[in-house]
Amino acid sequence: MIEHEGVIVKSSSSGATVKIINKSACASCQLNGKCNLSDVQEKFIDVHTSGKLYNEGDLVTVTGAESIGFKALFLGYILPFLIVLSTVVTLTVLNYSEPVAGLVAIGTLIPYYILLKMMNHKIQKQFSFYLKNT
């Protein structure tokens, strides 16, 4: 399971928005502030609450299946890489010049990400997070 602690920012009967503070390993180090390597980011996640009401400011733990991380990795990095690689190889075998093959391969990412954006609602259903009280 993937778990992150967060704070409820907005809540309704259908869902809640949780603010998660994402820290790098350096940010929790005892020497934090002594060097400039610390990295802290705020992220907001919409979570389904199944009708349970939460108050703003409640501390919660956001949980999700580990498999959603692999799905995100596949859709965001692996599949685009395979599309670019296969396009370059195919165009090179068809005797296109390398610059043309490279530009066309990078251009194939435009329709891929447009399609990904159009399917956002469908994909979002697969990436479900849940809350548990801390």
Q: Where are the domains of the chain?
A: 1-64, 66-126
pLDDT for 7 beyond 80? yes
Instruction: For residue 67, report the phi and psi dihedrals to the nearest 5 degrees.
Output: -65, -25
Which residues are paired to 117 by β-bridges? Answer: none
pLDDT for 116 beyond 60? yes
More confident residue, 74 or 50: 74
Mean pLDDT of 58-81: 85
Which residues are paired to 64 by β-bridges? Answer: 2
117, 123 in Cβ contact below 8 A?
A: no
Pairing, β 15-23 against β 130-133: unpaired
pLDDT for 56 beyond 80? yes
47, 6 in Cβ contact below 8 A?
A: no
